[in-house]
Structure 1
């Protein structure tokens, strides 16, 4: 439970950070505004055509008597829109991060710089970083889509579909939303998707404490745009917690005159073949 609160704390710290650095807040709003317009149009189209889509997919129910036909197709229409909203919450972050790759990279570096220590750099050209981000985002979206189909099917199970499934949906959304956001900072630390997922699995409660409240907030129109800069900042702070020993954040060494510091060996042997802890 302490990790759960710690994850939520990173979310709040990120929002406070951009609140203290207004220039970065405005800088980080631009990609979200562009993506919001695109997604608003897509969701409006889904809401407009969901009834026709449901009727087309269930021709076997055309002869059902009232009120069963209306109830059945109304339920399916609600599920279709809920699935679309579920996918929109996840893919919104992925698409926004792709659109705003240079914006959020700069924001994440500014957070690292403000916290002290060297600022990690991937050393890759911009086009290469963009390609890696797009590839990893597609992999995450495929995973989320698989979970979404499974949860959609479980939604038909009485009781469980109306209680447990929505909770699981928010947990899945929050988990992968956090992965997308922390990827901005962790990619600069030269961690690939597999390593990033391994780190997140090791701190699941902290990840959910960060991602689930953010997912719930993203359901409110326009909120996602205004929370996005702070979410990137908070995810960068979380990345420093998840990967404290990576390049750019070396372990702090005790001062030479610190009486509590352990005595150094008289003649330490050099590490063979340039062995590196990393």
Structure 2
């Protein structure tokens, strides 16, 4: 798992080289613009909502003793929680809107790396089938991701002294499903939904590594624009190594 994590994380360097070698920077522009618009809207709303959520939680505390310290903890943890939910919504919306570009980009990289053509040529029927499959998997992942995030949030409320560890755990959940989403742009050509789930479980370290680098890029100004296409290329490279 540790080896897979480092391979998933460092493959972003290979993704940059592959993008330059095959002159694929044009495919970065569309998801980059989508990311900027959605990111601005979602994170602006999350920033405004964090204080309201923190105050709502503090109102449940009936004592004066320790209220000041609790307010600080709840405000920090509330901000982390709102940011986590914002990231979930942001990633899945960007993935949904950018999926035609990312699937095509992943296919081009796979063809370059293997020299093989897609097993099933493009058709309207195939596109609709891929869309149905993608929506099924996305819905499954977002429900699970939100469930584990909310569960960890509730644990943080009950045990506020564990807030730092809870924040790390929330980041881990986010990273796993982010990496899974990036990998699926390749897996959709080789596996059905259950096959993709099994592949992700068998390569948890790879999902975590890819997703960790992806989330860290989201927190930077420049990397924010390139996180999704670079994550897709990096995931494609590592998935192809394991599929062929």
2:229 equivalent in structure 1: 229
Given that 1:89 and 1:218 are in contact with CA atoms closer than 8 Å, whether structure 2 keeps it comes out as no
Distance in 1 (CA, whole Å) between partners of 2:30 and 2:63 is 50
Shift of 1:76: 2.5
Kindly tell me the number of residue pairs found equivalent between the two proteins: 239
Between 1:221-230 and 1:192-201, the stretch displaced more is 221-230
2:162 equivalent in structure 1: 160
Distance in 1 (CA, whole Å) between partners of 2:115 and 2:29 is 27
Gaps of 5+ in 1: 245-278
Shift of 1:68: 4.7
Partner of residue 81 from structure 2, selected from 72, 80, 83: 83
| Larger Rg computed on CA atoms | 1
Gaps of 5+ in 2: none
Matched ranges for 1:43-62 at <5 A: 43-61=43-61
Distance in 1 (CA, whole Å) between partners of 2:238 and 2:4 is 11
Question: What TM-score, normalized by structure 2, do the two folds share?
Answer: 0.84
Matched ranges for 1:167-186 at <5 A: 167-186=168-187
Shift of 1:137: 1.1
Given that 1:183 and 1:196 are in contact with CA atoms closer than 8 Å, whether structure 2 keeps it comes out as yes
Given that 2:210 and 2:231 are in contact with CA atoms closer than 8 Å, whether structure 1 keeps it comes out as no
Q: CA RMSD in A?
A: 2.5
Shift of 1:158: 4.9
2:38 equivalent in structure 1: 38
1:192 equivalent in structure 2: 192
| Residue 216, structure 1, aligned to residue 231, structure 2 | no
Distance in 2 (CA, whole Å) between partners of 1:202 and 1:92 is 26
Distance in 2 (CA, whole Å) between partners of 1:53 and 1:211 is 27
Distance in 1 (CA, whole Å) between partners of 2:241 and 2:145 is 25
Distance in 1 (CA, whole Å) between partners of 2:90 and 2:119 is 26
| Residue 113, structure 1, aligned to residue 114, structure 2 | no
| Residue 204, structure 1, aligned to residue 204, structure 2 | yes
Between 1:126-135 and 1:168-177, the stretch displaced more is 126-135
**Residues 102, 158 of structure 1: alpha-carbon distance in 2 compared, 3 angstrom cutoff:** closer
Shift of 1:146: 0.8
Shift of 1:95: 1.9
Shift of 1:197: 1.9
1:148 equivalent in structure 2: 149
Distance in 2 (CA, whole Å) between partners of 1:173 and 1:60 is 28
CA deviations on 1:178-205 (whole Å, 9 max, x unpaired) are 110111111012x123211211222222
Shift of 1:46: 2.4
Partner of residue 93 from structure 1, selected from 82, 85, 91: 91
Given that 1:90 and 1:176 are in contact with CA atoms closer than 8 Å, whether structure 2 keeps it comes out as no
Higher helix share: 2
Shift of 1:103: 1.2
| Residue 2, structure 1, aligned to residue 3, structure 2 | yes
Given that 1:111 and 1:233 are in contact with CA atoms closer than 8 Å, whether structure 2 keeps it comes out as yes
1:243 equivalent in structure 2: 243
Question: What TM-score, normalized by structure 1, do the two folds share?
Answer: 0.75
